[in-house]
Structure 1
Amino acid sequence: MTSLLTEGFKCRVSSVLNKNTKEYGKDNMFDKTEDTCWNSHQGTPQFVVIQFPQGDGVKVTELQIMFQGGFVGKDCEILFNTAEQKEFQHLQYFYPKDINTLQSFPNNENPQQTGIKELKIIFPTSTDFFGRITIYKLDVL
């Protein structure tokens, strides 16, 4: 499967730990370095929004995330919108394990959905007492 995070995609996040974007910013999820990460500030919910540059949108088959154990989202949801519908709609729920390895979540709920322009990954709660999320790698296939 091929990554949909091609050149020109945009990302925004709910927060960054101590506003320190150099050490904990969103770009660290995509730099292919296992030593860097996005770390949210405390509080819930946390989220990541990805905008795809492809003109006609994309079809999402899988989400891959590597969390830091102890800072993992619980009972997560993926939302999407299209060029026609600007409001986010439900794509699927996923339930990560509290571990440090790369986890894959196939799109089993809406596998035929095409034309996706944006994904919003919501972490309503966290395994961290303060609601922080730490992600070392994120990819959309």
Structure 2
Amino acid sequence: MSSLTPLISKCKVSSVLNRDAKSFGKAHLFDASLETCWNSDQGSPQYILVEFAQPVKINSVLIQFQGGFVGKDIELIDAIKAAKICNLYADDNNKLQSFDVPQEEAVIGRSRIKILFNQSTDFYGRIVIYSLDFVGSTA
């Protein structure tokens, strides 16, 4: 198993703070820099939609939030089937968090994944993510 980031062909996010994609856009999710981040605008829900160049089997999702701007009630969704894979339960902190995908779901090849943040620990519904990665293998 390894990082699936090199296989990402497209990424879409629900919003960007003040529409400032240069400072807070989706590209910062995968740039491996702890000095840049994706910062959503206010409002719930927020989401990240990722498309892979080929089907992948996802074993875990790694997310580093900014404390105080953490997603709550998070769903990992197969975007093609519009079916929930599992819930992710994040702690309100700055640490890199790992979320395991249930074994019965980790063996299924998928090419489009949506992470849905139904709520945020921020009063205004903003989400801030410094790092996002998927760990698994090609299907």
Scaled by the length of structure 1, the TM-score of the pair is 0.91
Q: String of CA shifts for 1:4-59, please: whole Å, max 9, x gaps.
A: 121552110000000000000000010011000000000000000000001xx111
Percent sequence identity is 46
Distance 1:78 1:134 in 2: 17
Residue 115 of structure 2: aligned partner: 121
Residue 26 of structure 1: aligned partner: 26
The worse-fitting range, judged by mean Cα deviation, of 21-30 and 106-115 is: 106-115
The worse-fitting range, judged by mean Cα deviation, of 2-11 and 126-135 is: 2-11
Amino acid at match of 2:92: D
User: Within the alignment, does 1:99 sit opposite 2:93 as a pair?
Assistant: yes
Residue 74 of structure 1: aligned partner: 72
Residue 130 of structure 1: aligned partner: 124
Provide the alpha-carbon RMSD of the alignment: 1.3
Gapped runs of 5+ residues in structure 2? Answer: none
Q: Secondary structure at the match of 2:3?
A: coil
Give aligned pairs, total: 135
Give the 4+ runs in structure 1 shifted more than 2 A: 109-113
Q: String of CA shifts for 1:118-137, please: whole Å, max 9, x gaps.
A: 00000000000000000000
Identify, as 1 or 2, the structure richer in helix.
2
**How far is 1:89 from its partner?**
0.8
